[in-house]
Amino acid sequence: MDTPAESSRRPETPSAASSKPKKNLNFCGVPSFVTFIVGKEAQKFTVHKNLAEHYSPFFTKAFNGGFIEGQTQERVLEDVEPVTFGLVTNWLYTQKIIHPEDKKVQLVEIANLWVLAGRFLIPQLQNEAIRRTQDTPGYSREEFEPYVKFALKRELEGTQLYQAVLDDVLRLCGVIAEPPMEAEFLEDFAEIVTEEGGNTAAIVIKALVIHCAGFLSNMAPSKSIEDYFVEEGDAASGN
């Protein structure tokens, strides 16, 4: 099984069907639907088949191949959170990242969405997710901490999401290192990017963050949002 990093970085070789020129979306005529059975709760999502296939060669292959999904027109996604798949579904229909419960989308939910969009080979959604994280105004520690811990996991190392979050951490270090911020506040922030406890490596890293934050932030090259985008090429999108 691919790791999240592998499935997010490497476009799958498209099938003959997905490599053909993409047709315009057309909802006239007799509709055809596919069903996704998501999470341990087996929550069902019913989506127009042509819509799912328009944006995802992953879905095109799943529902038109010789496997069980091609016969049942159902796809079981037991390892996916319903909230994350709800974000995907809403984006397919609206091209906007909208929470299925119509509330604020948390940063960690957007990070999960980025990984799932990579798995489904939807680079447009990955890039919209990255844009959303960078456009999000001030956020609390309670929101930022799980986002950082999720995105900086070892299996995501080397992905655009990993790099974007790492750069966010360095930029934030530079901001909070400016006077008149106190050392206690810096230590509190450092706990976000290091694990608590007596581990020697964690202590050293924490000290480096506290004492070198401003320098590291100033040395980091300025990047645009597009630097964190994945390629929206033929293999990934059919365009």
**What is the residue-level pLDDT of the chain in tens, covering all 239 positions?**
455 554 554 434 344 344 455 778 888 989 999 999 999 999 999 999 999 999 999 999 999 999 999 999 999 999 999 999 999 999 999 999 999 999 999 999 999 999 999 999 999 999 999 999 987 666 787 888 889 889 988 899 899 999 898 888 777 766 555 555 556 666 666 666 655 444 445 655 666 666 666 665 566 667 889 999 999 864 333 33
User: Residues 118, 8: contact at Cβ < 8 Å?
Assistant: yes
The CA–CA distances, whole Å, from 169 to 69, 147, 189, 217 equal 42, 11, 10, 9
User: Residues 173, 181: contact at Cβ < 8 Å?
Assistant: no
Strands 33-38 and 43-48: antiparallel
- Rounded to whole angstroms, the Cα distance separating 183 from 107 reads 26
User: What does residue 182 show for φ and ψ, rounded to 5 degrees?
Assistant: -95, 160
**Beta-sheet strands, E only, within the chain:** 33-38, 43-48, 74-77
Domains defined along the chain, listed by start: 4-237 (3.30.710.10)
Residue 153: what pLDDT? 86
56-68 tens-digit pLDDT: 999 999 999 999 9
As to burial, measured by CB atoms within 10 angstroms (0-12 exposed, 13-18 middle, 19+ buried), residue 37 is middle
Taking 3-state DSSP, the helix, strand and coil percentages for the chain, each rounded to the nearest 5, stand at 60, 5, 35
Non-local (6+) Cβ contacts of 154 within 8 A are: none
Residue 107: what pLDDT? 95
Residue 218: what pLDDT? 62
Q: Which residues pair with 34 in a beta bridge?
A: 47
Tokens 């790791």, residue located: 3
Residue 197: what pLDDT? 46
In three-state secondary structure terms, 74 is strand
Residue 215: what pLDDT? 63
Residue 221: what pLDDT? 66
